Structure 1
Amino acid sequence: MTVWDDLVGQEKVSAVLDAAARDADALVTATTAQQPPPQASKMTHAWLFTGPPGAGRNQAARAFAAALQCVSPDRALGGAPGCGFCDGCHTALLGTHADVTTVAAVGSEILVKDMRDTVRKSFTAPANGRWQIILVEDAERLNEKSANAVLKAVEEPAPRTVWLLCAPSIEDVLPTIRSRCRHLNLRTPSVDAVADMLVRRDGIEPGVAATVARATQGHVDRARRLATDQAARERRAAVLRLPLRLDEVGACLKAAQELVDAAAEDAKQLAEEMDGKETEELKAALGAAQGGRMPRGT
């Protein structure tokens, strides 16, 4: 297992990021040893990840962040960064690494007031990790002022700072910003690739894996949820059967209500899952993971 294993159907992107992470590791090692930096490095200070929903652009950026922060001792023996198990990889993937800052839109825009502290942090040296990493999950939602703040930081970054921007398409990002980034475009994974991932990693029965992969059209997160949630599959099957019952106005009204109820149940379940995930991440950030005690006052 490595940090690249979650990038389903993105072999070319994984290869590019792996090569950049290796050069980034060599650069940090040379700097620490006060040696000349390696020549012709594939590492750069700003990256732009684009791709359709479900392609995994945020996952790719976070996997890259983990590889950059990897502290596995195997690296000294010629191993590649991005083991997926060391403290650097684990906390970066979990979202609790002190030197990996994630910015996501809360509303329709990312406001400049939400970016000031992040931009300021981007000019500081890493506190514990090997790089200071800023991951903007919704770069397309930067408004004019916040985008200009990011532009200034990307134009003259600190020596050990990396910007990772994610957006649906390259056109969603200001030309002045994207011109300073290395662009990686992710594609929608094939149905076979998603089905193989579900079987190999989640232990899903092959027939079920193939069915949900086709139903979700290569959207990895939706496929995994449908494959692992029997109730979600039953709700989907019930919705697909609704047209067979529409023979009068009363049936149409009843079917409409059932659609509303199914959507509400799905939304409730997703909210509960997200709440649980955020609770666990907060516990880990406060040092309460694996049976540790929460600080007083929390």
Structure 2
Amino acid sequence: MGFWSEIVGQPVAVAMLDRAASYEPGAAAPAHAWLITGPAGSGRSNLAYRFAAALIARSEADRDRVYAQVQAHTHPDLGVLTTQAAIIKIDAAREIVTTAHYAPSEGRYRVIVIEDADRMPEHTSNVLLKAIEEPPERTIWVLCAPSEADLLPTIRSRTRALRLVTPGVDDVAQLLQSRDGVSPERAAQAARLAQSHVGMARRLASDDDALARRQDSIQAALGVRTLGDAMAVAASLAKIAQADADALMDRLDAREREEAMRGLGLAPGAAIPPRLRSQIKALEEEQERRRKRSLRDGLDRVLTDLSSLYRDVLMTALASADERELINLEFSRAITELAGRWTPEQTLQALDAVSNARERLMRQITPGLVMEALFARIVMIHNLVNDAR
């Protein structure tokens, strides 16, 4: 299935969606609403947009052309509801519900993708409920969320659920080799450090600076001993996260603009005709909103990496992991040393501290304060070890 080849480790899901988008005469119509769930990095959004393109395209041969427009969010039969904020606002939901009643202009179906369905508060979900209950004949909803429990039961009951799994490290590494031409060694390292998150693995494999920033974060965390260290590392990681976020946004913005221009039939750098300016302006506004949230996203990636560090320490302390099974294999000596100083209970406290920091970040608490509180807690754990001695 060449069209689905970039969807890694999800053969059951791909087969189901490919059948649902069948072009065979007399084939049953697909369900009017879908809910794709799975852990971060499992490919929820990528799969949703592939499915949208397959539904819109009028033939299998037309899928790739349609997907190029879907990916750039420029296809007239595609609606997208996402957010760069903590929640999806009710006005955005009302607007997308209105567009859901438009008949498809080019394709077989009109498809509405909601990338962040878990960020809909109850009043926003209720706006969507009636539209999903009574959709127009040729409109299909595709919702994405980490789990079914993140949505109201009334929404869940009206969708066809599709659960994704975390792809294997080997599967992600193979994709990086075949799709991006990454060497086997670098692909294996990137897939391991990204914990099978496809997008992050691709970035770590292709961007030396991103890989260096990740490793600097782990090294900094390993050096925390005193409260002074904690404050310095908190500030350092905030800078690393900002630099990482800025670099990612710059590359992502440039690629999205290029794809949007191509989807509109324009050469890179060409003047934008007046009739198309609104679409480019909408893209630019979306990118600006995303930049405002980029630091929190960058810090969340740092916290994910820290979780992997303390996971490695715990597994080493429990003697339940071969060194080759470590995520942060490059720091195996320091991990073994830390596992010898901390008890498993203290390492679990560190993991809890990181988890709490991620929750505080989601609650819009000032990022600098979140990081300072985290490393102050790590210092307390370190001091508990010294006091016990």
Q: Secondary structure at the match of 1:163?
A: strand
How far apart are the structure 2 equivalents of 1:236 and 1:143?
33
Match of 2:252 in 1: 274
How far apart are the structure 2 equivalents of 1:100 and 1:94?
10
Structure 1 counterpart of 2:15, one-letter code? A
How far apart are the structure 2 equivalents of 1:266 and 1:161?
38
How far apart are the structure 2 equivalents of 1:165 and 1:84?
21
Structure 2 counterpart of 1:211, one-letter code? Q
Comparing 274-283 and 179-188, the one that deviates more: 274-283
How far apart are the structure 2 equivalents of 1:278 and 1:123?
27
Match of 2:143 in 1: 165
Residues 74, 264 of structure 2: 8 Å contact kept: no
Q: Following TM superposition, by how much is the alpha carbon of 1:129 offset from its aligned partner in structure 2, in angstroms?
A: 1.6
Q: Secondary structure at the match of 2:135?
A: coil
Per the normalisation by structure 2, the TM-score is 0.65
Structure 1 counterpart of 2:64, one-letter code? F
Change (3 A) 1:258 1:290: closer
2:134 to 146, 156, 166: 156
Match of 1:176 in 2: 154
1:57 to 41, 44, 62: 44
What is the percent sequence identity of the aligned residues?
Answer: 41
Structure 2, unmatched stretches of 5+, are 278-389
Structure 2 counterpart of 1:60, one-letter code? L
Residues 220, 233 of structure 2: 8 Å contact kept: yes
Q: Following TM superposition, by how much is the alpha carbon of 1:3 offset from its aligned partner in structure 2, in angstroms?
A: 3.0
Matched, 1:89 2:80: no
Residues 3, 82 of structure 1: 8 Å contact kept: no
Q: Following TM superposition, by how much is the alpha carbon of 1:291 offset from its aligned partner in structure 2, in angstroms?
A: 6.8
Match of 2:165 in 1: 187
Match of 2:273 in 1: 295
How far apart are the structure 1 equivalents of 2:52 and 2:88?
21
Match of 2:32 in 1: 45
Q: Secondary structure at the match of 1:271?
A: helix
Structure 2 counterpart of 1:193, one-letter code? D
Matched, 1:21 2:56: no
How far apart are the structure 2 equivalents of 1:167 and 1:136?
9
How far apart are the structure 1 equivalents of 2:126 and 2:167?
33
How far apart are the structure 1 equivalents of 2:153 and 2:227?
52
Structure 2 counterpart of 1:129, one-letter code? G
How far apart are the structure 1 equivalents of 2:240 and 2:167?
27
Match of 2:385 in 1: none
Q: Secondary structure at the match of 1:85?
A: helix
Q: Following TM superposition, by how much is the alpha carbon of 1:128 offset from its aligned partner in structure 2, in angstroms?
A: 1.6
Match of 2:11 in 1: 11
Structure 2 counterpart of 1:166, one-letter code? C
Match of 1:230 in 2: 208
Change (3 A) 1:114 1:82: farther
Residues 73, 260 of structure 2: 8 Å contact kept: no
How far apart are the structure 1 equivalents of 2:80 and 2:61?
19
Change (3 A) 1:42 1:230: same
Change (3 A) 1:242 1:90: closer
Q: Secondary structure at the match of 2:196?
A: coil
Q: Following TM superposition, by how much is the alpha carbon of 1:2 offset from its aligned partner in structure 2, in angstroms?
A: 3.1
Q: Deviations over 1:173-225 (max 9, x none)?
A: 11111111110011111100000000110111101111111111111111000
Change (3 A) 1:99 1:259: same
Residues 39, 146 of structure 2: 8 Å contact kept: yes
Structure 1, unmatched stretches of 5+, are 31-36, 73-80
Change (3 A) 1:160 1:296: closer
Q: Following TM superposition, by how much is the alpha carbon of 1:256 offset from its aligned partner in structure 2, in angstroms?
A: 4.6
Per the normalisation by structure 1, the TM-score is 0.83
Match of 1:122 in 2: 100
Q: Deviations over 1:102-146 (max 9, x none)?
A: 100232222221122211221221012211110001111122232
How far apart are the structure 2 equivalents of 1:225 and 1:285?
24
